[in-house]
């Protein structure tokens, strides 16, 4: 019997022989994660039959519209949204466009959105560079008149968004009593 015991010791620790039968015990791996202060420990049991988790590709997030190229943002998002907001107030946009031209009054070359609202007013929203975060100004005038003042526009804002630009343009027009009731 002692010989049997010694033979059993020579076998792997996971194999037990009893009455000439071999029984295999599972060989779990223990993974112990200890927190920094050793107050909490977590033991995960992994067996050989565990299937590794499938990795699901994360869809790429689309750039916010404000991060798109300047002309794409202006022509595809700002101008249509601004036109829609003005139309919702019962006004009609005769003309709205973006051009790299002379800014009213200052006469320096910059990107200018010119908008003419039928029988109401005209405004020029100017961007110093081809970047919506660059210095901006706005000029307003009544129909068939030239603008007489140029005002800085969104100078204290850190994050420029489509909604912010539209709301502040409408706020300026309303402040001059050119649209809506003040």
DSSP string across 139-171: EEE-TT-----EEEES-S-SS--HHHHHHHHHH
* 111 lies in some domain: yes
The pLDDT tens digits of the residues spanning 120-148 come to 899 999 999 999 999 999 999 998 899 98
Q: What is the 3-class SS of 74-119, one letter each residue?
A: HHHHHHHHHHHHHHHCCCCEEEEEEEEEECCCCCCEEEEEEEEECC
Confidence of residue 59 (pLDDT cuts 50, 70, 90): confident
* 48 lies in some domain: no
Give just the sign of the alpha carbon dihedral 79, 80, 82, 86.
Answer: positive
Percent share of the chain, pLDDT over 90? 48
pLDDT at 111: 97
pLDDT at 182: 45
Confidence of residue 24 (pLDDT cuts 50, 70, 90): low
* 155 lies in some domain: yes
pLDDT at 41: 47
Across the strands, what pairs with 61? none
* 11 lies in some domain: no
* 166 lies in some domain: yes
pTM: 0.65
> How far apart are alpha carbons 46 and 28 in whole angstroms?
6
Residue 106 pLDDT exceeds 80: yes
In the chain, the number of structural domains is 1
* 35 lies in some domain: no
* 6 lies in some domain: no
What average pLDDT does the structure give for the chain?
Answer: 79
Give the structural domain span for 71. Answer: 65-175
* 4 lies in some domain: no
């Amino acid at each position: 019997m002692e010989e049997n015991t010694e033979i059993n010791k020579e076998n792997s620790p996971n194999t037990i022989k009893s009455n000439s039968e071999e029984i295999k015990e599972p060989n779990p791996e223990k993974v112990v994660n200890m927190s920094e202060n050793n107050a909490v420990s977590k033991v995960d049991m992994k067996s050989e039959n565990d299937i590794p988790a499938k990795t699901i590709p994360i869809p790429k997030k689309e750039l916010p519209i404000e991060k798109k190229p300047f002309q794409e943002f202006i022509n595809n998002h700002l101008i249509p949204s601004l036109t829609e907001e003005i139309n919702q107030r019962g006004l009609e946009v005769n003309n709205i466009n973006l051009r790299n031209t002379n800014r009213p009054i200052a006469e320096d070359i910059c990107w200018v959105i010119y908008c003419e609202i039928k029988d109401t007013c005209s405004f020029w929203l100017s961007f110093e560079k081809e970047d919506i975060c660059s210095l901006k100004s706005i000029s307003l005038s009544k129909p068939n008149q030239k603008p007489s003042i140029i005002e800085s526009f969104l100078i204290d804002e850190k994050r420029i968004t489509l909604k912010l630009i539209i709301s502040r343009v409408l706020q300026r027009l309303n402040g001059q009593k050119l649209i809506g009731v003040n």
